[in-house]
Structure 1
Amino acid sequence: MQQEAHGRSLTRERAECDRVLDRAAELAGQVDDDYAWGNAARRTPRYLDVQRATCYGRLGLHKEAVTLWATTLAEQPSTSQRDVGVFKARFTVALAASGEAERAVEMAGQVVRLIGETGSARMRTALAGVRTAMRPWARTSHGRSMSEMLAAVKP
């Protein structure tokens, strides 16, 4: 269902994306499975909210994504540094795309630090989308700060 929701977000079907994620949320609590879910619900608090925020970002629903990322990130354990870094990178993009350049620069600074500590290619990839979102601020101090940070994490 989570994968279907991502597919629905790729085809710009917000209502179907929400419907599938809502249904997944109803069923997730009923799952008692001995097999690990990989990088999924059992280890990541608010897993389906993470998926919804990611889909909303893809759908261009940046303000909704910002709200979800803010609450979801507050509940992530510090032990999942790589996952949290990817989530923060997606949050950074949503912040910039929703017009919150200053907050985007602050969050990007955290992501850049995590990239330096972990070398995570996933974080670099997730953060790359902020270039486009920050274009309106290219000639401002926020835009210059973001450009400097992004230049420091090029592969």
Structure 2
Amino acid sequence: MLDEAAALIDDDRMWGNACRTPNYVEIQRATCYGRLGLNVEAVALWDQILPSIPATARRDIGVFLARQGVALAAVPEPERATEVTKKAIELLRQTGSVRQRAELAAIPTRMDAWVDTDTGQEVTEMLARVTQ
């Protein structure tokens, strides 16, 4: 269905500003993959998408990094999840995005395999400071 949607998005039939975002459909696809538990696929797609997002889109980048962090936590890739979470938290402090805060709150729910490690404790503490 996302492939069909991509074919419908063009400048002649815009149905809102959101679809003008670079990689709009791929962002939706990566989000769907993460929500469906297809975390390896989500991580790979976020790796492709994030470098293309303009630096001026700090709130969007923060949300997307948080979504990538959730997928990385579940894969699990604790070191990358920690790195991505730190970047997302830095953007959250700059933007105060409620949407991003909500996405970050999901990371601890995906850290089952490594929550009791030093890295897991570090992430839990970082998130506790910004998601409460």
TM-score tier, shorter chain, comes to over 0.9
Alpha-carbon distance between aligned partners in 2 of 1:124 and 1:94, rounded to the nearest angstrom? 16
Q: Which has the larger radius of gyration?
A: 1
1:100-146 C-alpha deviation (Å, 9 max, x unpaired): 11100000000111111111111110111111111221221110110
- Indicate if the aligned counterparts of 1:89 and 1:126 stay in contact, CA closer than 8 A: yes
Number of the residue aligned with 2:28: 51
Alpha-carbon distance between aligned partners in 2 of 1:21 and 1:154, rounded to the nearest angstrom? 31
Residue 83 of structure 1 deviates from its aligned partner by 0.8
Which structure 2 residue ranges, 5 or more long, are not aligned?
none
Alpha-carbon distance between aligned partners in 1 of 2:116 and 2:22, rounded to the nearest angstrom? 38
Matches within 5 A, 1:67-146: 67-146=44-123
Q: Give the TM-score normalised by structure 2.
A: 0.94
Residue 36 of structure 1 deviates from its aligned partner by 6.8
Alpha-carbon distance between aligned partners in 2 of 1:50 and 1:76, rounded to the nearest angstrom? 10
Using CA pairs below 8 Å that are at least 6 residues apart, which structure has the higher relative contact order?
A: 2
Could you say what the CA RMSD is over the residues aligned between the two structures, in angstroms?
1.4
Which structure 1 residue ranges, 5 or more long, are not aligned?
1-19
Divergent runs of 4+, >2 A: none
1:41 paired with 2:22, answer: no
